[in-house]
Amino acid sequence: MPRGGKRGHKGRAKQFTNPDEIDAQMKAEKEKAKDLPENAGDADSDESSDDDDSEPKKKGVEGIIEIENPNRIVQKNKKIAEVDLNPRNRELSRREREEIEKQQARERYMKLHLEGKTEQARADLARLAIIRKQREDAAKKRETDKKVKDTKA
């Protein structure tokens, strides 16, 4: 069966570059690099190093086509004067503020609970008092039963 099935192959045949042509192109590029004077290359490298600091090296077609992507996040360097060293001066977000309030309320509740001033603490103390009384009664009953057994024996 032919390459494209019943309909035949529609694409072009692949063309490969001759290795001799590749070598010739590489030699031409090396000669161009050698032809540039060294001092001019240094001046260009100084300017390019300044440019490299401000902008990263472009990849692919970015250097040819200027594209503005609204979703791309550009990292901006902050100056030392702009950096907030004291975090107390800035306003807290709503979530942070609510979290702090919730934590403070929990601490207040635990303090009152330990002092026995909350409803739950009072209910717990009442339950404990009932249990203690039941245990005391049970202990007294065991004592009386033990004495009765000793007297019978």
Helices 119-152 and 94-115: crossing angle in degrees, nearest 10, is: 30
Dihedral sign of CA atoms 40, 41, 43, 48 in order? positive
- Per domain, the residue ranges of the chain are 94-152
The DSSP symbol for 60 reads G
- What lies within 8 Å, CB to CB, of 115 at 6+ separation is 121
User: Considering the entire predicted model, what is its pTM?
Assistant: 0.33
Q: Give CA–CA dist 124/113, Å, rounded.
A: 10
Residue-level pLDDT at 103: 96
| pLDDT tens-digit map of 117-133 | 889 999 999 999 999 99
Rounded to 10 degrees, what is the CA torsion of 117, 123, 125, 126? 130
Dihedral sign of CA atoms 17, 18, 19, 20 in order? negative
**Which pair of tokens denotes residue 70?**
């609204």
Q: Which segments in the chain show pLDDT lower than 50?
A: 41-52
